[in-house]
Structure 1
Amino acid sequence: MTNMFTPLKVTLAAAGVALAMVPLIARADAASDALVSRGAYLAKAGDCIACHTAPRGKPMAGGLPMTTPLGAIYTTNITPDPDTGIGRYSQDDFSRAVREGVAKDGHNLYPAMPYPSYAKISDADMQALYAYFMHGVSPVRQANREPGMKWPLNMRWPLKIWNAFFLDKGVYKDKANQDVAWNRGAYLTQGLGHCGACHTPRGIAFQEKALDESGGAYLTGGLLDNWFGSNLTGDHNTGLGRWSEQEVATFLKTGANAHATAFGSMTSVVNNSTQALSDSDVAAMARYLKSLPAAGGNGNPPYSYDPKASKVSLTRPAPAESGARVYAAFCMHCHGVDGRGFAPMLAPLAGNSNVLEKDSSSLINVTLNGTEDLVIQGVPAPYPMPRYAPVLNDQQIADVVTFIRGAWNNNMPAVNVEDVAKMRKSTEAAR
C-alpha cells in the first residue's frame, strides 16, 4: 500500500511546490515590469526617441539626419531587432555603447551621441534602461544608414583618441555640500538630460568645453545643427538671471513662461522629454540650474524694458525702415507693438534672452523655418511660429531681425544678409 501511494504523494508534493512558487513568479514578473517601466521613464528623461526616430519613421528605429561640421550622420536603430538593432546586445554591451560610445562590434560612435553625458548614468538606471529597450520597445527591422561623409572624414579610429582626451568615464557622484534636490537636478541635467550637448560651447575637436559646473563654459550657450542653445547660467541678459525657479520648472513642463517660448530643437525636448518628468524631478533641475552663477552674456548693461528706446514708428513706418515695415506686417499681431507679446502663448521679444544673445543663428533660423508644434499633454499650442522662407527674401529677414534686436532697449547689433543666405542654404539642404 505504501508503494502504491508514493507516486501520488510525490505528485501532490510537486503540485504544492508549484503552487508555492506562483506568488514568487508573480512577484518576479511585477519586479520585471517595474524595471521596464522605470526604464521607460529614464528613456524619456534622456530624450532617446527624439534623436532615434526619423520623421514619419517607427519609434527608435533611427534614420534621423544630423548635421555635423564633418558632414551628415544618421542616428541608429536602437530597437531590440537582433539583426539591424541592438537585440543581440548584452547589458554590458549596452552600457558600453551608452557610456563610452563603443558599439557591440567594437566600432566607435560619433560624439553626436551624447555619451560623454550618459557616462554619468548610474548602474541602477543603466539596468532599467537596458530592460526597457529589450522588453519595452517593439523590434523594427531597419538597416542603419551610412554617414554622408567622404574618406578620410568617415574614419572612426580617431575617435579612440578623442575619447582618451575628452571622455570622463566616471558616473555622477553626489556633492556632499549640496542637498538631495540639488544633486538630483545635477544628475539629470548633466547626465540623462545631456543639456550640455546643446547648451555648452564646443571646442575645435567638437568637444563640449565643460561637462559640469566646475567648468566656466558650462551651459553658457552653444551652436549646434543651425540652432544656438541658449545660456542657462544666471546671466541677467542671455541666461536665467531674471527667471525664478518656478518659472524654470514651468518652462520645462510646458515649454513656455513669462520670458520665452520653446522653439527649434528645444520644442522636441519639451514634447518628448521634460513634460513627462515628475514634478519633483523638474523642480530639482530648476533648483540646480538656478544655482549656476552668471557666465557668458553679451557684455551689455543689465536689460531693462524701455518702449521708447526704438525711435522707429510701427504704426506708420517710413519706406526706408524695411525692418519695421516687415515687423508691422508679419510679426506685430503676435508679438505686439511693444514687443512684449502675450505670454505664455506668444513669446515676448523685448528682453528675450535669445534676442539678446550675440549669436543670432536661432533668430534667423526660426524666422526662416518656423518651428514644430509644441504639444503639451496631447494639445498643440495654438500659435506656432510660421515659416517665412517662402514669403520673405534674405534682405527682408535680415532687416526684421535687425529691427527686433535693436528695438525696446534690446540694443543688439545688426544681422548681415550674408548670414541669412547661409542659413537658408544650410537648412534647405537639411530638409
Structure 2
Amino acid sequence: MIKSRIRRTLTSFLVVCLVAAAGITWFVTRTPSSPFDGRVGTEAPSAELIQHGEYVARLSDCVACHSTPERAPFVGGLEMATPMGSIFATNITPDPGTGIGAYSLADFDRAIRHGVAKNGHRLYPAMPYPSYAKLSDDDLRALYAYFMHEVRPVHQENKPVGIPWPLNMRWPLALWNTVFTESGTYQTKASADSRASADTGALWNRGAYLVQGPGHCGSCHTPRGWAMNEQALDEISPIYLSGALLDGWYAPSLRGDRNTGLGRWNEADLYQFLKTGRNQHAVVFGSMADAFNNSTQFMTDNDLKAIAHYLKSLPGDPARDGTPWNHDATSSDPLTIQERRTTAGAQTFMAKCSYCHGQNGRGQGQWIPPLAGSASSLAKESASSINVTLNGSARVVANGVPDAYRMPPFRLQLSDQEIADVLTFVRTSWGNTGGAVNPAEVKELRERTSPTSSNIVILQMR
C-alpha cells in the first residue's frame, strides 16, 4: 500500500511537471498577435507612404545601429557590448535570404514592437522594442513600406552572437518581456501642465510619443535594473531619463536637473542642440553624435519643438542632483607657472586643453563646449569624461558638412595617470563637483574601447 501511494504521488508529480513544462513551452514559443495578421498587403504602397516611412526610420534612428561605415545602410554588423558578451546588429535590408525580405507586415510588427523574429526566436532588448512597442499602427505600416520598397536588398550573412551558452538561450526573454515591457501603442495623455492649452497639450503629447516611442531616448538615458531592464518607460516615474551608464558612456539626465540635466537649458536651447548638434551649453559627442548625424537633424521643426517642450516638462530631483552649480571665479584666473607644477593635471590642461576650452573652462561659444559646469564635469560617473579624452569624439556632420572642431583622441599622448590627473583637475575646478578620476578607471576603459570612428552613414533624403 505504501509503495502504491508513493507511485501515485510520483505519478501526480510527474503529471504536474509535464503540464507546467507544456505551459511554459507554450508561453515562451507562442507568437504574439498583430493587428496586421491575415492581411496580405500585396498592393504597391503609395509614394507618400514610403516617404513617411523613411521619416519614421529617421525618427527611430534605425541606421545608427544597423549600419557601419564599411557597409551599405541597414546591412548590420555593428558590435554592441553587453555584460554577457557581444551581440551584432542584423541585416534589415529586404534581402529574402539574410535580411527581412520574407517578412510579412505582421512579421515585421512582431519584430519591431514585440521583439520576436519571423522564425520565432526572441530578440535581445538591445533592439529597443520596449520603446518601439509604442509606435502607432500608421507609423509601423509606413516603416514597413519603406524597408520593403525603398531600401536596397543586400545579401549579407549576420554575425554570430558572442554570448556563451547557456547565457545565449533566448527563451527566458519571453519571461523578461512579461515583467519588464508594456504592450500597446502610445495613448494620448493629459499634459503635465494643467494650464496647457489644447495646442500645447498636443505638442506635449507629440513630444512624449517621439521621446518614448521611435526616439527610444530611455534606452540610453534611463537607469537600468539588475536584469538590464529600463527602470521606467515614461514620465510617471521620476527616474525616467534621469541619466545612465551604458557601454562606456554616461548618458546625462534629460530632466530639469540643473547640474547633470537640462535645468539650465530652455526649449530654444534644446531645439538648437537637436537641429544643429550644438548650442551654448554642449556639443554632441559619443552615441549622441550618431543620433544627431543620422536622426535628429532630419526631423521637422515642429517635431524638434515638441521634443523640447516635452523634455522641459520633466522636473529634476535636487536631492539626487545636488547644490546647483555656480561658476567659481577664483579658478578662472590664469595659473602661474608654480601652480601648474604643484597642481596635478594643471600643466597638462594648459598644454593640451586650454587653447580650445579656455583657461577658464568656458569654451568657445557654440563651437567648442564648456568644461565648466558641463554635465560630464558634474556627474559622479566619469565614464564620458574618460572615454572622450581617450578616444576623441565623432565628427558632427550637419547638412552634409563635417565640422572642423573635433575633439582629438589622447590615448597615445597621455598615460592613464596623466589622463586621470587632468580630468581630476577639470572635474574639481571652476565650481565643478564631479570629483577625482582614478587611473584604474582610465586603464579599464582604455582596454575595452578604441578611438572613435564616426558611424557616418547619412542616408539621402529624397
TM-score, normalised on structure 1?
0.91
Look up the match of 1:233: 255
* SS of residue in 1 equivalent to 2:70: coil
* SS of residue in 2 equivalent to 1:322: coil
* SS of residue in 1 equivalent to 2:377: coil
Q: Which of 109, 112, 127 is the equivalent residue of 1:98?
A: 112
* SS of residue in 2 equivalent to 1:72: strand
What does residue range 365-384 of structure 1 map to in structure 2 within 5 Å? 365-384=387-406
Contact 1:315-1:328 within 8 A present in 2 as well? no
Q: Does 1:166 align with 2:142?
A: no
Contact 1:264-1:372 within 8 A present in 2 as well? yes
Contact 1:231-1:238 within 8 A present in 2 as well? yes
Look up the match of 2:235: 213
Look up the match of 2:7: none
What's the CA shift string for 1:222-243, capped at 9, x where partnerless? Answer: 1111111111000111110000
One-letter identity of the residue aligned with 1:345: W
Q: Which of 187, 195, 216 is the equivalent residue of 2:209?
A: 187
Look up the match of 1:11: none
What's the CA shift string for 1:16-50, capped at 9, x where partnerless? Answer: xxxxxxxxxxxx97x61110000000100100000
Q: CA deviation at 1:176?
A: 3.5
Q: Does 1:393 align with 2:415?
A: yes
Q: CA deviation at 1:169?
A: 1.1
What does residue range 44-55 of structure 1 map to in structure 2 within 5 Å? 44-55=58-69
Look up the match of 1:411: 433
For 1:233 and 1:315, the matched residues in 2 are separated by: 41
For 1:389 and 1:295, the matched residues in 2 are separated by: 35
Query: Alpha carbon RMSD of aligned pairs, Å?
Result: 1.7
For 1:142 and 1:126, the matched residues in 2 are separated by: 25
One-letter identity of the residue aligned with 1:106: G
What does residue range 110-259 of structure 1 map to in structure 2 within 5 Å? 110-177=124-191, 179-259=201-281
Look up the match of 1:23: none
Contact 2:362-2:371 within 8 A present in 1 as well? yes
For 2:336 and 2:427, the matched residues in 1 are separated by: 15
For 1:115 and 1:315, the matched residues in 2 are separated by: 55
For 1:429 and 1:319, the matched residues in 2 are separated by: 30
For 1:317 and 1:297, the matched residues in 2 are separated by: 35
Look up the match of 1:340: 362
Look up the match of 1:15: none
Look up the match of 2:54: 40
What's the CA shift string for 1:303-326, capped at 9, x where partnerless? Answer: 111221478826654323231111
What's the CA shift string for 1:249-296, capped at 9, x where partnerless? Answer: 100111110111110010000000000000000000000000001137
Contact 1:63-1:76 within 8 A present in 2 as well? yes
TM-score, normalised on structure 2?
0.85
Contact 2:64-2:291 within 8 A present in 1 as well? yes
Change (3 A) 1:314 1:67: farther
Look up the match of 1:273: 295
What's the CA shift string for 1:162-200, capped at 9, x where partnerless? Answer: 111011111100113461100000000000000000000
* SS of residue in 2 equivalent to 1:319: helix
* SS of residue in 2 equivalent to 1:355: helix
Change (3 A) 1:120 1:52: same
* SS of residue in 2 equivalent to 1:73: strand
Contact 1:231-1:296 within 8 A present in 2 as well? no
* SS of residue in 1 equivalent to 2:64: helix
What's the CA shift string for 1:55-98, capped at 9, x where partnerless? Answer: 31111000100011111000000000000000000000001000
Contact 2:390-2:451 within 8 A present in 1 as well? no
Q: CA deviation at 1:158?
A: 1.1
For 1:349 and 1:330, the matched residues in 2 are separated by: 14
Q: CA deviation at 1:118?
A: 0.2
One-letter identity of the residue aligned with 1:366: V
Look up the match of 2:85: 71
Instruction: Give identity over the alignment, percent.
Output: 53
Larger mean Cα displacement after TM superposition, 294-303 or 402-411: 294-303
Q: CA deviation at 1:103?
A: 0.1
Look up the match of 1:421: 443
Change (3 A) 1:312 1:140: same
Structure 2: 5+ residue runs without aligned partners? 1-42, 193-200, 454-462
Query: Which stretches of structure 1, 4 residues or more, deviate above 6 A after TM superposition?
Result: none
| Count of residue pairs brought into register by the alignment | 403
For 2:303 and 2:451, the matched residues in 1 are separated by: 38
Contact 1:314-1:325 within 8 A present in 2 as well? no
* SS of residue in 2 equivalent to 1:384: coil
Q: Which of 332, 355, 362 is the equivalent residue of 2:377?
A: 355
For 1:167 and 1:296, the matched residues in 2 are separated by: 29
One-letter identity of the residue aligned with 2:223: P
For 2:368 and 2:452, the matched residues in 1 are separated by: 27
For 2:443 and 2:293, the matched residues in 1 are separated by: 30
For 2:452 and 2:183, the matched residues in 1 are separated by: 33
Structure 1: 5+ residue runs without aligned partners? 1-27
For 2:234 and 2:336, the matched residues in 1 are separated by: 44
One-letter identity of the residue aligned with 1:388: F
Q: Which of 320, 333, 338 is the equivalent residue of 2:342?
A: 320
What's the CA shift string for 1:197-218, capped at 9, x where partnerless? Answer: 0000100000000000011210
For 1:290 and 1:52, the matched residues in 2 are separated by: 30
Q: CA deviation at 1:401?
A: 0.6
Contact 2:382-2:434 within 8 A present in 1 as well? no
For 2:385 and 2:391, the matched residues in 1 are separated by: 10
For 1:259 and 1:58, the matched residues in 2 are separated by: 34
For 2:294 and 2:433, the matched residues in 1 are separated by: 35
